[in-house]
Structure 1
Amino acid sequence: MTAAEAEPVVGPGIDRVDGARKVEGAAAYPSDVQVPGMVHAVLVQSTVAAGRIRTLDTGAAEASQGVLAVITHRNAPRLPGGPMTALGATPPAPLQDDRILHHGQHVAVVVAETHEQATAAARMVRVVYEVTDAVLRLDDPRAERLQNPWGLDTDRGATGAALEAAEVKLSGTYTTADNTNNPLGCFATVAVWERNGLTVHDATQWPTMVRSTLARTFDLPESAVRVLAPYVGGAFGAGLRAWPHVVLAVLAARMLGRPVKLVLTRPQMFTSIGHRPRGVQHLSIGSSRDGELVALDHRSTSTVAMEDEDFEPVAALSALSYACPNVITRDSQARLNIPDPTSMRAPAEAQGNFAIESALDELAHALEMDPIELRLRNYAETHPGNGMRWSSKALRECYEAGAELFDWSRRTPEPRSMRDGDWLVGYGMAGVSYPWYAQPCNARATVNRDGSALVRSAATDIGTGTYTVMTQVSADALGIPVGRVRFDLGDSDMPQAPQAGGSGLTGALAPAVQDACRGVLQRVLDLVRDDADSPLRGCTLEDVTVRGGRIHRRDRPGEGESYADILERHGHQELSADGASTPADPSVLGMAPAGAFGAKFVEVRVDAELGIIRVPRVVSAIDGGRILNEKTARSQIIGGTVGGIGQALFEETITDDDTGRIANATFGDYLVPVNADVPQVDVVFVGAPDPATPLGTKGIGEIGLVGIAAAVANAVHHATGTRIRSLPITLDRLL
């Protein structure tokens, strides 16, 4: 056995297996797809937020050079809505009537031979509207109010009476802004109708969901629809729904009988693929004088579009974060004339954590207590809702490891007590969690006569490292070197997989891959069960180990043979097997499945005269269960940290209160952190494998962002003495 064969495959931070393809430009994103005979579609969007289309003049556009069609509600067929998904309803089908529900709504699609021709003709479409008053403000009394549709509100104990009797109490109102998912790659769809069905290249995080949606919308069997997304240029949650522009590309291709490509512009990305909804949270908290929480009342109202069912339980996790006997959480929504919201990295928790962790910091200050000590005094050793023990929880270790790495002991407690020249220095921290999530998943593994392996599943990799990590899991389970294993994904014809979102894909996909690999190993052993020439004759899975492309006997490790030799001797070019995973049943486990936990520590520096905020240092201590690839996992936490800095200090999608127009729908106006804004980011992983999942993993895609905003706000208070309860923290709010 070579030294390379002896090294563990899962765990070390191997380089991304798809990295070279991306660097070389060989990775084909949806916008790169070229198909013979392909034409181009460009959207026309409404310039009002509410009303009806009075007249729609498409004559000049239709007469323009190269134009093949202009599709509007007048000539588009009636289409049913898409199916209900694990994440809620599909957005309504586009171009079904003359109503306008938000600024930027698709009112027409122009198709031409070239993109330039379609773009020029789209500017020629003239629309006259019958405008009605739009409902655009969260506090507008005309807004329809919706209560929590998921039944996640909490009412534990006697919260009102406990708050009234609390020795120490405080209340605050926290506001969070609309944030827009801004992946580097603009979303694109290429639709191709063929004799045997429909093929769609799409920027999606969930190919099988898009397949189901298009099959229902266009009255096709799912087997006749194929969705391809081998590479996605980022998504952050925006790819978790089948958006109207996807339907329009498919519709245009069907009406014209030619392949159609539709690529959103950057401004259209702000109105067409969702956003993190803005919201207002009211939080009241009561404690004893020694810091024991006695009551928590957390109520949230966030925005939703006029005919959309997206929902984020912003306040819900507060009921599970700390040991508190009396808790009320309430989540509601207000319907506005806005584009559909959607999940954006760490949905709900990014907003809710900001409120509760800011409030706890304020309580610690009022009690003259260290913020970590306050959290430890209210540490939830068991699940606060059902009393079951957590499947795993290393949050205490996160506090300890993070504080040590950050050098938290250097913090002096009084605001404005730390300074470096003209800069006020502040230290802030936050405790974080992200709930457990899992869905069923399938995979297929194949070993080839040349000793290589191919493993497949209809998942996607949105930059998280799925290609790499699943190659490692496959190589480990088969005992084949990583360089001889290929993992393919992003094709709805492959075995079903859930979305790349909710921090649940690795926990679902890895055990399915492992199961498929064990299945194909069993098939190989079946070949030699009665083979007198094989040293593996009669062996079961429990009798063998695998490494270096060979199967070895456990009782006599020197005896075994390679996959290649077995397949060649028995005349097989390949052998395949399917695998599956299903979510754990908490009632069977006898424990509460735990998501990821963590602690965030942030240093800020605030110019004493100008109020300029800089973030020179962030430490994240993460309980992510078993880490399958330390390099990609660390990258996930760093990426989430950058997003959290954006939420805290920069990102705000500004909608004009009079017109409903998004005023900053470009990268020149919508601010995101750039290299100069990204500090020293240190990451430490703690904890042990989680027994609730087959490989001991927890999802970490979201946990990197959660808590950064609260830690920044708490650090700003420590530096300046000013408590900011509204995101983003901008100069005007600070001064």
Structure 2
Amino acid sequence: MTIIERAGLVGAGVDRVDGPLKVTGAAHYPNDFSFPDMAYAALVRATIPAGRVSHLDTSAAERAPGVLAVLTHLNAPKLESGPPSFLRTPPPPLQDDRIRYYGQYVAVVVAGTAEQASAAARRIEIGYERAEPVLEIDDPRAERITNPWGMDANRGDAQAALGAADVVIDATYTTAENTNNPLGLFATVAAWDGDALTVHDSTQWPTQVRATLAKVFGVPEAGVRVLVPYVGGGFGAGLRVWPHVILAALAAREAGRPVKLVLTRPEMFTGIGHRPATVQRVRIGATRDGRLTAIDQESLSTVSIEGDNIEPCAAGATSAYACPNVSTRDRQVRLNIPWTSSMRAPGEAQGNFALESAVDELSYSLGLDPLELRLRNYAEVHPQYGLPWSSKALRECYEVGAERFGWSRRPARPGSMRDGDWLVGYGMAGISYFWYQAPCQARATVRGDGTAYVRSAVTDIGTGTYTVMTQLSAEFLGLDPGLVTFDLGDTSMPPGPQAGGSGLTAALGTAVHAACRNLVRAFLDTLAGDPASPLAGCGVDDVTVAGGRIHRNGEPERGESYTRILAAQGLAELSADGDSAPPRPQDAGMAPAGPFGARFVEVRVDPDLGLLRVARVVSAIDGGRILNEKLARSQIIGGTVGGIGMAMFEDTVTDPGTGRVANATFGDYLVAVNADVPDMEVTFVGEPDRYNPVGVKGVGEIGLVGMAAAIANAVYHATGRRIRSVPITIDQLLAA
């Protein structure tokens, strides 16, 4: 009962258990829920990036048909700030007249229909006292924050080692702001019953929404219920409790009716966070035979005026390679922009682009194959901790990926491969993602009919949590998956962490393992006083579960079924809880390892037209134990598409004159579409991780990491032109 013992269920490409509900329209997303007598809210956003509201006339809106309430800073009640968290809630809205960014909410209108609310919102007259905004990352007026999270790192003496190195690469790399843009518009439906509040919300962290709303409105947390069985995507946008969530609850309380608030697509660009822009300087020193002697990486990233976004872009350099002298520093610059927040592979997406581009540049300076340079500096143990990894198959990722891609056929000289008018290039990148696991709780129940019900208050943002946890629960309880229901998305269930950081599968899987193990123990405990039972006196490590039965190890005939035990004890069901709290590295004697991988990319460039096409991608991934290969492959493919977007298309453009996001629609904000997605091959390597009993690592974030660097490196091999900023644009490629 301490490990996964059978191979029939876990690892198989089981179809999504929630798939039929989604394709038939039976899966209810937050926007699908309603209450009797429900009203609707519409938001009014500021049209300046900095200053104050000097004039506000809501009288025309208040007289408009169907309007129930108009709330502004002039009449909104004072609200408390949310509870402390490493993903802090923005300050409560409508608390003063200050404008901090273009798109900040300055009013909310509640009416009987969505159309009435929107029409009335347009009738509000607002005047502003403008202040000079700070909008550019290089603006000398901007406040700079040094070491904002205490994560700067040093080992050895990087500066001295750079001075003594045979070869030094010193380059600056930039990444653009990106916006998450999940397909589903974020929505909140709120209904009060006295001090009890029920909320349907597009969130990746239901328990944090519950805690925040309780604190903001001063009501008991036990009276707040947050429901989110399905989310229409998130990519990190749902990790914070955004102001519109609070406004929906506030509007419902003030109007005395349930309220639904659905963001428009332009509001999604300013209301739910975005990936910050970065400027990163990377210096790498090496010997002439390709041994790294120094890495120095410094990142400057954007953050909103009041934001606290955690995005340590340079931190990955501390563990990427076996280098004796490393210095990493992260800095932030405060701007009058909407809140920056997590977007798939936060920090690592930007930091990897800079570091892996610089390593590629070094390989050409040394005359070494880019893959060989990485292998010569492979970190067998964690370079910063000096501890063995809990698991690491990056070397195998390099070897398997290179073989499947045909890397050995790559000519060394840039610009030497052509296909008609197209220049052809091969590029690669080593990839990793930091380890993360939060505490989690789960509850498992076996009923008298032999079915099981397992649950936790987490979310499934489309990654497959419903399915893999059904598989795991069935495995741990020895049941057919068809007899197991796994449920989530309801804060009345045992609390769980956010679906983010590639940490949910390990946290929840470990909690489910503990709950199921405790449940088997509870069944055995009921038999402790029954000498006639073949299981009398057995502990949980003395038994095996299979076929709906518990039997002695190695003696399948000496056991009893769940149903018989419950019937004999006169019980309708039996339940048990389990939780997970990961050990500290120093206590475990090993460094916890996140996922690793290698990217190999072929690109084609038309230098006359400035066209760039990704022709094929091979990804070799060490994700620990793969619980469902079909879903894991889907995660890598989806992340790869996002990485293509980051490398070639996505750029959230702020107008320098007004502070307005200038491309806040799908017509103007470019994302990768079907025609941009090439043939993709994904292969998984490695062994189960030792840091949790399930042996998993998350694969949601690693799917995006490395694509930007691999594409830019391939462009250099195709053209001889080094691209140090993403997205890669036509003007950078013309006449390459």
Q: State the TM-score bracket (shorter-chain normalisation).
A: over 0.9
Please report how far the alpha carbon of residue 37 of structure 1 lies from its aligned counterpart in structure 2 after TM superposition.
1.2
**What pairs with 1:422-571 in structure 2 (closer than 5 Å)?**
422-531=421-530, 534-571=533-570
The residue number in structure 2 matching 1:82 is: 82
Pick closer, same or farther for the CA change 1:543–1:78 going to 2, 3 Å.
same
**2:611 equivalent in structure 1:** 612
Instruction: Work out whether residues 457 and 491 of structure 2, in 8 Å CA contact, stay in contact via their aligned partners in 1.
Output: yes
3-state DSSP of counterpart to 1:139: coil
Given residue 52 of structure 1, which amino acid in structure 2 is its aligned partner?
A: R
Shift, 1:622, TM fit: 0.7
Note if 1:340 corresponds to 2:371: no
Contact 1:346 1:705 in 2 (8 A): yes
CA distance in 1, matches of 2:159, 2:589: 32
Give the conservation status (yes or no) of the 8 Å contact 1:175–1:279. yes
**1:181-196 equivalence runs, <5 A:** 181-195=180-194
1: CA distance, partners of 2:532 / 2:467: 37
1:67 matched to 2:70? The reply is: no
Q: CA offsets per residue over residues 653-690 of structure 1, 9 Å max, x none? A: 01001110001001111111111111111111111111
Amino acid at match of 2:711: V
Shift, 1:213, TM fit: 0.7
Give the SS at the match of 1:559.
strand
Partner of 1:119: 118
Q: Secondary structure at the match of 2:550?
A: strand
The equivalent of 1:153 in structure 2 is 152
Distance in 1 between the 2:291 and 2:80 partners?
54
- More off after superposition, 501-510 vs 376-385: 376-385
Q: What SS does the corresponding residue of 1:352 show, helix, strand or coil?
A: helix
Contact 2:229–2:490 (8 Å) recurs in 1: yes
Q: Is the 8 A contact 1:148 1:313 kept in 2?
A: no
Residue identity opposite 2:397 in structure 1: C
Question: Contact 2:148–2:332 at 8 Å: present in 1 too?
Answer: no
Shift of residue 555, structure 1, vs aligned partner: 4.2
Tell me the SS of whatever aligns to 2:725: coil
Deviations 1:132-171 (A, max 9, x none): 1110000111100001222111222222222122111121
Q: Could you tell me which amino acid in structure 1 is paired with residue 292 of structure 2?
A: L
Alignment of 1:70-469 (within 5 A): 70-85=70-85, 87-195=86-194, 197-469=196-468
Rounded Cα–Cα distance in structure 1 between residues aligned with 2:144 and 2:233? 33
Q: Is the 8 A contact 1:182 1:269 kept in 2?
A: yes
The gaps in structure 1 that reach 5 residues or longer are: none
User: CA RMSD of the aligned region, Å?
Assistant: 1.2
- For 1:33, give the aligned amino acid: F
Tell whether 2:13 aligns with 1:22.
Answer: no
Structure 2 residue 701 is the aligned partner of structure 1 residue 672? no
1:391-427 superposed Cα distances (whole Å, 9 cap, x missing partner): 2111111000000111111111111111111111110
CA distance in 1 between counterparts of 2:580 and 2:427 reads 40
Whole-Å separation in 2 of the counterparts to 1:193 and 1:147:
43
Mapped to 2, the partners of 1:480 and 1:160 lie a distance apart of 59
Secondary structure, counterpart of 1:403 in structure 2:
helix
> Partner of 2:726: helix, strand, or coil?
coil
Report the counterpart of residue 647 of structure 1 in structure 2. 646
Instruction: Please give the alpha-carbon distance, in whole angstroms, between the structure 2 residues aligned to 1:558 and 1:108.
Output: 70
Shift of 1:27: 0.7
**Pair 555,328 (structure 1): closer, same or farther in 2 beyond 3 Å:** closer
- Name the CA shift for 1:196/1:574 in 2 (closer, same or farther; >3 Å): farther
CA deviations over 1:283-331 (Å, ceiling 9, x no partner) = 1111111111111111111011111111211111112111112222111
After TM superposition, give the deviation of residue 7 of structure 1 in Å: 5.8
Identity %: 66
How far apart, in 2, do the equivalents of 1:173 and 1:24 lie? 49
1:585 matched to which residue of 2?
A: 584
CA change 1:134–1:11 in 2 (3 A) is same
Point out the more displaced range, 399-408 or 522-531.
522-531
Contact 2:40 2:113 in 1 (8 A): yes
Contact 2:607 2:733 in 1 (8 A): no
> After superposition, what is the alpha-carbon deviation per residue over 1:70-128, rounded to whole angstroms, capped at 9, x for unaligned?
1000000111211111x332211100100100000000001000001111111111111
Kept in 2: contact 1:584–1:693 (CA 8 A): no
CA separation in 2, counterparts of 1:692 and 1:527?
A: 32
Mapped to 2, the partners of 1:37 and 1:535 lie a distance apart of 59
Letter in 1 for 2:578: G
Q: CA deviation at 1:468?
A: 0.4
2:238 match: secondary structure: helix
Distance in 2 (CA, whole Å) between partners of 1:623 and 1:311 is: 25
SS of the counterpart of 1:668? coil
Name the count of aligned residue pairs: 730
**Which residue of structure 2 aligns with residue 703 of structure 1?**
702
Contact 2:594 2:697 in 1 (8 A): yes
Output the TM-score relative to the length of structure 2: 0.98
2-side partners of 1:73 and 1:608: how far apart? 55
CA distance in 2, matches of 1:201, 1:576: 27
- Determine the C-alpha separation between the residues in 1 that align with 2:165 and 2:343: 36
CA distance in 1: counterparts of 2:649 and 2:269, whole angstroms: 16
Q: Which runs of 5+ in 2 are unaligned?
A: none
The Cα shift of 1:6 comes to 7.6
In structure 1, what is the equivalent of residue 42 of structure 2? 42
**2:184 & 2:262 partners in 1: Cα distance?**
10
Give how far 1:541 is off: 1.8
Contact 2:442 2:455 in 1 (8 A): yes
Which letter does structure 2 place at the counterpart of 1:40? Answer: Y
1:118 & 1:479 partners in 2: Cα distance? 53
8 Å CA contact 1:282, 1:300 repeated in 2? yes
Q: How does 1:619-630 map to 2 (within 5 A)?
A: 619-630=618-629
Partner of 2:655: 656
Q: Which residue of 2 aligns with 1:714?
A: 713
Letter aligned with residue 168 of structure 1: V
Report the AA paired with residue 26 of structure 1: A
CA contact under 8 A between 1:445 and 1:577: conserved in structure 2?
yes
Instruction: Determine the C-alpha separation between the residues in 1 that align with 2:628 and 2:307.
Output: 38
Moved more, 208-217 or 565-574: 565-574
Higher mean alpha-carbon deviation, 711-720 vs 314-323, is at 314-323
Moved more, 532-541 or 264-273: 532-541
Deviation at 1:256, TM superposition (A): 1.4
Cα offset for 1:429?
0.2
How far apart, CA to CA, are the structure 2 residues paired with 1:524 and 1:361? 58
Separation of aligned partners in 2, 1:79 and 1:154: 39
1:330-388 deviation per Cα after TM superposition (whole angstroms, max 9, x unaligned): 11101000000000000000000000100111111111110010011111111111211
Q: Is the 8 A contact 1:543 1:555 kept in 2?
A: no
The 1-side partners of 2:484 and 2:241 are apart by 32
